[in-house]
Chain A
Amino acid sequence: MSFDLPSPDAGLRDPNLAEAERLMTVCNSCRYCEGLCAVFPAMELRRAWSDGDLQYLANLCHSCGACYHDCQFSPPHEFDVNVPAVLAKVRNDSYEAHAWPGALRPLFRRHGAALAIGVALAAALFLAGFIAAGDPGALWSAHRSPDLFYALMPHSAMVGLFGAAFLWMLLAVFMGARSFWKATGTPVDGLALGRAGHDAATLRYLDGGGMGCMNDDDQPDDNRRLWHHFTFYGFLLCLASTSVATVYHYVLDRPAPYPLWDLPKILGTLGGVGLVIGPIGLLRAKAKRLPDLLDPRFRSMEVGFLAILLLTGASGLALMALRSTPLLGPMLALHLGAVLALFLSMPYGKFVHGLYRYLALARWRREDPSRG
Chain B
Amino acid sequence: MWDVLVAGGGNAALCAAIAARRAGRSVLVVEAAPKFYRGGNTRHTRNMRCAHDAATDTLSGPYPEAEFLDDLMRVTQGNTTPELAQMMIRESKDMLGWIQEQGVRFQPSLGGTLSLGRTNSFFLGGGRSMLNALYRTAEGLGVEVRYEAEVVGLDLDGPRLRAAMVRQGDREERIEARAFVAACGGFESNFEWLKEGWGERAENFLIRGTPYNRGTVTKMLIEGGVMQIGDPTQCHAVAIDARAPRYDGGIITRLDCVVFGIVVNADAQRFYDEGEDIWPKRYAIWGRLVADQPGQIAWIVFDAPNLERFMPSLFPAISAPTIPELAEKLGLDPAALDATLSEFNAAVVGGRPFDHTELDGNRTQGLAIEKTNWAQRIETAPFYAYPVRPGITFTYLGVKVDAQARMVMADGTPSKNLFAAGEIMAGNVLGQGYAAGIGMTIGAVFGRIAGTEAANVV
Contacts and interface: CB of A to CB of B under 8 A. Distances in A.
B107 interface: yes
Contact of A210 (B105, B112, B312, B314): B105
Interface stretch (A72-80, A165-173, A268-276): A72-80
The residue in A29, A33, A73, A219 that gathers the most chain B C-beta atoms within 10 A of its C-beta is A29
A209 B112 contact: no
A78 B252 contact: no
Interface in B48-90: none
B251 A66 contact: no
Given A69-B132, A72-B44, A31 B124 contact: no
A1 B246 contact: yes
Contact of B126 (A25, A29, A33, A78): A33
Interface in A245-277: none
Interface string B112-153: 100000000011111111001000100000000000000000
Given A28-B312, A78-B245, A210-B105, A70 B126 contact: yes
Contacts of B243: 1, 3-4
A11 interface: no
Given A6-B316, A77-B248, A34 B105 contact: no
Contact of B127 (A31, A72, A78): A72
B312 A36 contact: no
B311 A29 contact: yes
Contacts of B129: 32, 66, 69-70
A135 interface: no
A286 to B, nearest CB: 23
A1 B122 CA distance: 33
A44 B111 contact: yes
B43 interface: yes
B17 interface: no
Nearest to A214: B132
Contacts of A79: 252
A32 B132 contact: no
Nearest to A71: B128
A66 B129 CA distance: 9
B125 A209 contact: yes
Contacts of B308: 47
B372 to A, nearest CB: 29
Nearest to A78: B245
A293 B311 CA distance: 29
Interface in A190-205: none
A29 B312 contact: yes
A79 to B, nearest CB: 8
Contacts of A296: none
Interface in A1-59: 1, 3-6, 8, 25-26, 28-36, 41, 44, 47
A67 interface: yes
B380 interface: no
B278 interface: no
A211 interface: yes
A112 B331 CA distance: 57
A35 B125 contact: yes
Nearest to B122: A35
B21 interface: no
A4 B314 CA distance: 11
Interface string B89-107: 0000000000000000101
Contact of A31 (B110, B123, B250): B110
Contacts of A34: 107, 110-111
A70 B43 CA distance: 9
A32 B128 CA distance: 10
Contacts of B246: 1
Interface size range of chain A in the complex:
35 or more
Contacts of A73: 250, 252
Given A1-B246, A3-B243, A29-B251, A36 B311 contact: no
The residue in A31, A77, A79 that gathers the most chain B C-beta atoms within 10 A of its C-beta is A31
B315 interface: yes
B413 interface: no
Nearest to B254: A29
A218 interface: yes
A28 to B, nearest CB: 5
B397 interface: no
A36 B124 contact: yes
A5 B105 CA distance: 31
B252 A26 contact: yes
Interface in B13-49: 36, 43-44, 46
A73 B111 CA distance: 20
A47 B313 CA distance: 10
Given A3-B243, A72-B44, A29 B110 contact: no
A1 B44 CA distance: 22
Interface string B312-334: 11111000000000000000000
A24 to B, nearest CB: 10
B36 A76 contact: yes
A70 B125 contact: yes
B313 to A, nearest CB: 5
The residue in B123, B127, B250, B252 that gathers the most chain A C-beta atoms within 10 A of its C-beta is B252
B125 A31 contact: no
Given A25-B314, A78-B245, A219 B136 contact: yes
Contact of B46 (A8, A26, A32): A32
Contact of B125 (A8, A41, A67): A67
Contacts of B245: 3, 78
A209 B129 CA distance: 11
B242 interface: yes
Nearest to B313: A29
B107 A30 contact: no
A69 B110 CA distance: 19
Contacts of B36: 76-77
B314 A6 contact: yes
A35 to B, nearest CB: 4
Nearest to B42: A72
Contacts of A29: 251-253, 311-314
A66 B125 CA distance: 8
A1 B127 contact: no
A219 B123 CA distance: 17
A5 B314 CA distance: 8
Contacts of B111: 31, 34, 41, 44
Nearest to B110: A31
A28 B315 CA distance: 11
Nearest to B129: A70
Contacts of B315: 6
The residue in A3, A30, A79, A218 that gathers the most chain B C-beta atoms within 10 A of its C-beta is A30
Contact of A72 (B112, B128, B242): B128
A36 B124 CA distance: 7
A219 B44 CA distance: 20
Contact of B43 (A4, A44, A72, A219): A72
Contacts of B122: 35
10 contacts: A1-B246, A5-B314, A29-B253, A32-B123, A47-B308, A66-B129, A71-B128, A72-B44, A76-B36, A77-B36
Interface of B: 36, 43-44, 46, 105, 107-108, 110-112, 122-129, 132, 136, 242-246, 248, 250-253, 308, 311-316
Q: Which 8 A-B pairs have the closest CB atoms?
A: A32-B126, A70-B125, A35-B107, A29-B252, A70-B129, A72-B43, A35-B124, A29-B313
Interface of A: 1, 3-6, 8, 25-26, 28-36, 41, 44, 47, 66-67, 69-73, 76-79, 209-211, 218-219
